[in-house]
A and B are shown apart, each in its own frame.
Chain A
Amino acid sequence: MDILEKLFSFMLPEQATGTASIIDQIFYAIIGLSALVTILFFLVVVWFVIRYRRRREGEKTGTITESHKLEIVWTVIPTIVFVAIALWGWSAYRTLEHPPADAYPIRVVGKQWAWVFSYTLDGKEIQTLGQLNVPINRPIVLEMTSLDVLHSFSVPAFRVKKDVVPGLKTQVWFTSNKLGSFQTYCTEFCGTAHSKMLATVNVMPEQQFERWLRDEAAASTTASPSVLGARLYEFKGCKSCHTLTGVDDVGPSFKGLVGKRREFEEGAPVEAADENYIRRSILDPKSQIVKGFKPKMNSFVGQMTDEEIHQITQFIKSLH
């Protein structure tokens, strides 16, 4: 096993959890077996092709047509080896699937195209966008769901992956034993910016994590509506399509939006974009597609409160 690990460890990412090696052991075993079988097949085929190459037309060939013994051997041995691999994989999966009872819960919401992580402290909700902060050496369970289409949460260094499904709660757990930042990917195709739906897991010492959480909780109570709107701009995923630079992307830029004349693909134009226009754009975006854009945005009915719509509107108004 050690030799296999030396030979093939270049194929796998670093291990940042204690459970990663459980998966890697199976990986090395199968790759060792595969390499052995492939080399044997290769040698035998090359040997036969050279040894039994056609020297002249009409030469006599062997007359063996079957061998029950051989058929049994190469039926039974693969069956045993293959089933053993499946059972090994299952038993490892059992260990990886069930989180310890004391695992620290973090809620994860996937949406096109952002990850939002929520923590609870003293009844207050703390949210981060694209940054999953976790303490080292503590079991963490992620309780995940999606607001729109399928996503999948994957951290290669942790060897975890699970689909994030609208209308369903799925979970993954891990205990990271390494400080540092690790890349996460969305691994279920989710549309235009699928490959930009990334996040980072920051593994930090326990005390640093606790301090960060307390500071965040304190900061979230004192901000103005437009500052909270700026947070929503990121957390609700507006950022994926609407820039703050004045340059249009998938959707119109937010900069200088208020007061602008808006012409639509269908229907009468709006002379100057106002709060009502923004509200309609959030709740029923397809009713007023601005000329030159595609109907890409889904309605945020049920996803944003009136309070939040007010905050984001204040934020957009502040962008001249």
Chain B
Amino acid sequence: MEVESNYLNHEKGLKSWLCSVDHKRIGILYFIAVMTFFLVGGLFGLLVRLELLTPTRLFMSSDLYNKAMTLHGSVMIFMVIIPGIPAVLGNFVLPLMIGAKDVAFPRLNLLSWYFLMFGATLAVLAIVLGGVDTGWTFYTPYSIRSMEAVTVILFGAFIMGFSSILTGLNFIVTIHQLRAPGMTMMHMPLFGWALYAAAIIQIIATPVLAITLLLLIAERLFGVGIFDASIGGDPILFQHFFWFYSHPAVYIMILPAMGIISEVVSTFSRKTIFGYKAIAFSSVAISAISFFVWGHHLFVSGQSELAGAIFSILTVLVGVPTAIKLFNWVATMYQGSIKLDTPMLYAIAFIGLFLIGGLTGLFLASMATDVQLHDTYFVVAHFHYTMVGGVVMGMFSGMFYWMPKITGKMYNELWGRVSAVLAFLGFNVTFIPQFIMGSQGMPRRYHLYDPKFHAYHLTSTIGSWILGLGIVIAMIVLIKSFKKGSVAPVNPWGGTTLEWTTPSPPPHDNFAQIPTVTSRPYEYN
């Protein structure tokens, strides 16, 4: 039997991959990179949890613990969950979804990948040079005085920022210029809207981080006196600059995940998404409000009370469009035809965990309760509920959803479901105890801790093994489906968006003929 020509067999050899400007191949390059980083970041996370098995030193010195904690955060944030969904799935799916042959700037797209790899190389170099112990937030003045490798990893994060900016730029132009004939913005699938909203943040906020990191490098190398109080600088200024990027950045991470949930919930309920406009506009609303909430990271930093109050109110407002999405997803399931395949299991896990992540955000948005909870394990748990319970669950939901399209083969459904259940259970066992000990006052980033918190830490560490197992199984199932599995049909899930109208895997040019769109997405009956 003759194999049809598709993007995977279109050209052969390593060079045909490393120099490819095909958005689908670049998506695969990102997939390989991000999954590798995920393993590394996850390993650091598991080591941190393992060290915390006992209140006293187990196998790491305090310095080593601080480095492991820093690298877990830095790798996961800058190299996994920022590029994860947009660069892997956005790259692969967006052009297919809107009926385009590629992104608007294919070469720029490849360059973005090389920026990420260059940045990642610098991060590895920083580890080889002795590691970094500042925490992923690089707070001054500690980050000014700490070890040499800090400059290297700062420069690495600076470079990776360009990868993010260029990907965002590419997506915005692609969405404006390359939608199939007849597909108005209001006909575009919601994953497109989500990527669009995230891309706005990527191109506006990321340059601020870039400048901040450069200033910090300048402060380290030349002592110019911007952030260092001993030479006339202001350490809190760094926090304003840093969070002006890094708070919107959490929406760069979560918005695309929300987009995936909109697709998956609709497809696996066989039902038109409920409140299309509400979901689409809430993405843009989140993106807009997210620029004005950064000060909630500074309630106990010495920031003025009035500033605190304004940021507190703006912060709770960003919860409103988030709540709207949650309500609409659940309403979509009403009167549906629901099938709990792996993508849907991950999507439901997302809804439950992200709900808790959002609600616990209220404790931190309220200034009075934040005083008690700031910089404790409560924050750690809240952040992981949104970033793992949200972004990572959403990412796996999307990967299982589109994997048959990407590889042309069906993954192992049973093991996919096992991974989702394990990850969900393990996640809760890991992080629920952290809410409790955090409320009781257990500070974050502590190598040694009061024995009264031991039971919580012990439970959390055991949970991390279950979570780790779930994620490793998910990765194995996904990667195996490149090699083995029954042939995937054009539309295995009964989806209604355009990527399900072209063969699996898609041909090099995506569509034999560019489709014309005449109706809204998500029409099932």
**Extra pairs beyond A22-B368, A93-B367 (17, CB < 8 Å):** A45-B348, A60-B525, A62-B334, A64-B274, A74-B324, A79-B320, A85-B362, A86-B316, A86-B367, A89-B312, A89-B366, A89-B369, A148-B141, A159-B372, A183-B450, A189-B139, A195-B446
Which one, A131-139, A164-172, A225-233, A257-265, is touching chain B? A164-172
- Between B63, B235, B308, B443, the greatest number of chain A beta carbons within 10 A of the residue's beta carbon is seen for B443
Cα-based distance from A163 to B308 in the complex (angstroms): 14
Interfacial residues, chain B to chain A (CB-CB below 8 A): 62-63, 66, 133-135, 139-142, 145-146, 229-230, 234-236, 269-278, 299-302, 305, 308-309, 312-313, 315-317, 319-320, 323-324, 326-328, 330-331, 333-340, 348, 351-352, 355-356, 359-360, 362-363, 365-372, 374-376, 435-436, 439-441, 443-450, 524-525
**Residues in chain A near residue B324, CB distance under 8 A:** 71, 74-75, 78
Whether A93 contacts B333 in the complex (CB less than 8 A), given A27-B439, A191-B142, A195-B447, comes out as no
Chain B residue with minimal CB distance to A160?
B371
Interface string of A65-107 (1 = CB under 8 A from B): 1110011001100110011011111101110110000000000
Q: How far is the CB of A247 from chain B (nearest CB, A)?
A: 15
Contact indicator B313/A163 (Cβ below 8 Å): no
Q: Known: A27-B372, A188-B375. Contact between A150 and B66, CB under 8 A?
A: no
- Check A44 for interface membership: any CB of B closer than 8 A: yes
The closest CB in chain B to the CB of A94 belongs to B305
CB-defined contacts of B300 to chain A, threshold 8 Å: 152, 161-163
Q: Report if A272 contacts B (CB, 8 A).
A: no
Q: What DSSP secondary structure best describes chain B's contact surface?
A: helix
In the bound complex, residues from chain A placing their C-beta under 8 Å from that of B302 are 162-163, 165, 168, 170
Q: Is A208 an interface residue (CB 8 A)?
A: no
Whether the Cβ atoms of B335 and A41 lie closer than 8 Å is: no
Stretch from A30-38, A119-127, A275-283, A311-319 contacting the other chain: A30-38
Question: Which A residues touch B235, using CB under 8 A?
Answer: 150, 165-167
Does A270 count as interface, using CB distance less than 8 angstroms?
no
B375 touches A156 (CB 8 A): no
**CB-CB contacts of A22-57 with B at 8 A, as 1s and 0s?**
110011001101100110011011001100111100
A141 at interface, CB cutoff 8 A: no
Contact indicator B334/A187 (Cβ below 8 Å)? no
**Known contacts A34-B360, A96-B368, A183-B450; A48 and B330 CB within 8 A of each other:** yes
CB-based contact B440/A13 at 8 Å: yes
User: Contacts A52-B335, A64-B335, A89-B365 hold; do A41 and B330 have CB atoms under 8 A apart?
Assistant: yes
CB distance from B375 to the nearest CB of A (A): 4
28 pairs across A/B with beta carbons < 8 Å? A12-B372, A12-B440, A27-B363, A27-B439, A30-B362, A30-B363, A30-B366, A34-B356, A41-B355, A45-B351, A48-B336, A49-B333, A49-B348, A53-B337, A54-B270, A59-B270, A61-B524, A62-B335, A78-B324, A89-B369, A93-B308, A150-B142, A161-B300, A163-B300, A188-B139, A189-B445, A191-B133, A195-B447
Looking at the complex, which one of A27, A70, A150, A165 makes contact with B331 (CB distance below 8 Å)? A70
Determine how close the nearest CB of chain B comes to the CB of A23; give it in whole angstroms: 5
| Chain B residues with CB below 8 A from A94, complex form | 305
Tell me whether A63 is interfacial, beta carbon within 8 Å. yes
A287 to B302, CA, bound (A): 35
